[in-house]
Structure 1
């Protein structure tokens, strides 16, 4: 397991646990590391892989959102490299500890062989936050952080490396499985958020999803279309008075229905009252 250079001084570690991507971006001042993995033990594996890249050290960490598999390595990075700035959106930083506690609660009831290391991990939220956009200066290149809107969570960000034409999408885009539409997703807004992300891409852009293989602009367009179909289907069903409990069985969906229970519940809850008709008799 090691980092692979996908563009000039942009390396991706595709870790087998959760098929998670951790990315390192190099510049003359050091490296920015994007996402830190799901436990202190996993983060130590990432630190060891970073050491094999050479002498450059991280000067900043970025969390693409608050979920434990992207943030539970923060404390390890701070222990290893000193008090690095950890960047995230205001929403993500505020939700990191509560989200982490919910994840730990789930692992307490799990037989996952790595549950113990997750439960033993200290949760450290980001301490450098922004609402819409920020820049990390690496001297000879700028790393742009953009909150394009709500989708996978309320606080998603994407990371853009303009001179390399690379964009790190976090879990707004996933390659190895359908997008994770959990109990904190925003299914009615996600496609619009990806529309903004597409506006940051060129035809030649390299896109790093939160999980899975590196993709291109076309892949993002197709996933955006599928997410738009989910949102529009929810709106259509609700406007016709189809009860939420019957929604999954009442339409065609781009992904298996067992992955969409939270998306439908969240979509119905997010619709304004005037957009929902009374259930049909």
Structure 2
């Protein structure tokens, strides 16, 4: 590939942690531990991809959560309460993230082939740096080591859906043209991040947050159930603005060939 320079990859649900299980379960636990307040896994997934403090704040504004929160505490969720949930979340997340660091099936060989072609691998996440430090070590033991990574709390400007983490990868990797980058993510905020950065965007439907099932849970679904979940996940990511949607990062090479051909014709995202 003569034009593509880099892939900027999300972590949970895109490269590791099939189903993006680690962050969602911990949000449920953190709300319970901090304030004895129950949220569902489905609710915890709604803002997935955002930085974790912003994720908690967004959950607090969901009508079905805010009404119960006001009934229980007499006011909308305050910044101090968000801080307390976040501080409860962090040690729980650090303890859990290494358990879900295994790369998604078929991903590592694809990344290796792309690197052999000179394509750089950047990464960013809704996880803050202290969680990334744990995850990166655990993932490296499986053989995944991107060329650069950025945590959600590392940049003054903020995180998703803004472009800053993706663009920090551009800077660190020495990319010549942002349009020669592909942002790959399983969440709507992550797709928006790539769009806002001026990159091609590829949504990952089945291995990530849009479906939210482990490999074992997915395999246990009937064909009809899988068909419904697939259609819903593809629709969700296309509605978020993704240029392309695939089942898994393992399936990205044909899409990259299409993007390379469009770049060769002078097209931009």
Compute the TM-score of the two structures, normalised by the length of structure 2. Answer: 0.31
Q: Which of the two has greater helix per residue?
A: 2
Q: Which of the two has greater strand per residue?
A: 1
Compute the TM-score of the two structures, normalised by the length of structure 1. Answer: 0.30
Say which one has the larger Rg.
1
